[in-house]
Every structure is written in structure tokens, then in C-alpha cells.
């Protein structure tokens, strides 16, 4: 039996683990054929990401097993966020421990962060149209598709889905 998963802000000493898990999860899932893909190179720079956004890690038994990034709209790490949204990016869980609850815990951490922020009414995210496990996780954790906001990776035919979850009670 494993101990509980905790989520906390990433520290510089976590960045290598976050980069390794990011590469492993995206390549293992087949989202990008090669670790040399330019987008993955950008994601590997966790310190650079942390300068423009908040990076969190999921930890169990003292080991980093996942990560997520949240970015305010208009910043260097936001693609689709509206001004009243916190954008969730780069949710990854070590392929060795996927389906352990780490992904759900990381999603909840970003939702909780958004609820605590003045002027933020929702969390938005982009995920691959064909990424079944990711799409299932977002549907299970209260996100709703926003098909009118879907977009394509520039210069490709890779379609990306947009999801949103309101964090304010009406």
C-alpha cells in the first residue's frame, strides 16, 4: 500500500525530475514521436517555465511522481487562457505510476489555486484531441469541453481540444 500523494510548489532541486517525467510521459504515450521534438525541448526547460508560471509537483514517499504548471493569461506560458482564467499546462505523471491518483491531485491543486485568486473565475486547458486518458481525466474532474475554442498546433494538422471548469459558484 502506498502512502498518500501530496502536491506542493516545485523547488529548483525538483526540476530534473519534472523534466524527466515530462519527457517520459509525453514520449511513452506516443504524443510526440521523439524526445527531440521542439515542443518537448521547450517543456524540458523547467526553470524557464517556472520563471513565467507556477510549477507544482505531486510527491509520494518523498519521490516526485508528477507535475503540473499553471499560468496566468497573457503570460509567456499561456496559450489559450482568457483574462479571468488560470491556464493549466503540462500535466504529467510518471508512466510507472499512472492511474495512482496523482493526476487527479494535480488537477485539484490548480483548481484550488484558481479559487484562491482574485479575478480568476475558471481554469482552462488544452489537450490533444486523441489523448484518451487525458480527456477522460478532465471529464471526470469537472471540466467541460469548449469546442468553439479548439485549435490546431501551428503548421500541423494536430487538433487540440479546450476544456474549462468554472471555479466560482453562481
3-state helix, strand, coil in the chain (%, to 5): 35, 30, 35
pLDDT at 22: 87
pLDDT score of 76: 83
- In angstroms, the Cα distances linking 88 to 1, 35, 78, 108, 121 are 30, 22, 9, 11, 13
Q: Where are the domains of the chain?
A: 6-120
Q: What pLDDT does residue 37 have?
A: 62
Taking only the tens place, the pLDDT of each residue in 24-43 is 887 666 666 666 666 666 67
What are residue 140's phi and psi, to 5 degrees?
Answer: -70, -25
In angstroms, the CA 138 to CA 132 distance is 10
pLDDT in tens, 55-96: 999 999 999 999 999 999 988 888 899 999 999 998 999 988
Q: What is the pLDDT, as a whole number, of residue 129? A: 84
Pick 6-120's CATH classification: 3.40.50.700, 3.30.70.660, 3.40.630.30, 3.90.1150.10: 3.40.630.30
Q: What is the pLDDT of residue 77?
A: 85
Amino acid at each position: 500500500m502506498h502512502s498518500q500523494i501530496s502536491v506542493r510548489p516545485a523547488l529548483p532541486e525538483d526540476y530534473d525530475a519534472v523534466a524527466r517525467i515530462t519527457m517520459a510521459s509525453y514520449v511513452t504515450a506516443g504524443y510526440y514521436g521523439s524526445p527531440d521534438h521542439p515542443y518537448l525541448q521547450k517543456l524540458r526547460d523547467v526553470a524557464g517555465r517556472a520563471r513565467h508560471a507556477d510549477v507544482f509537483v505531486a510527491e509520494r514517499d518523498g519521490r516526485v511522481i508528477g507535475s503540473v504548471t499553471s499560468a496566468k493569461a497573457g503570460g509567456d506560458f499561456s496559450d489559450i487562457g482568457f483574462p479571468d482564467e488560470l491556464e493549466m499546462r503540462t500535466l504529467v505523471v510518471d508512466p510507472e505510476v499512472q492511474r495512482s491518483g496523482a493526476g487527479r491531485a494535480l488537477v485539484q491543486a490548480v483548481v484550488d489555486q484558481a479559487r484562491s485568486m482574485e479575478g480568476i473565475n475558471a481554469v482552462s486547458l488544452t489537450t490533444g484531441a486523441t489523448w484518451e486518458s487525458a480527456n477522460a481525466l478532465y471529464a471526470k474532474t469537472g471540466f467541460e469541453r469548449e469546442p468553439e475554442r479548439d485549435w490546431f498546433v501551428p503548421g500541423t494538422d494536430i487538433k487540440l481540444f479546450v476544456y474549462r471548469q468554472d471555479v466560482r459558484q453562481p
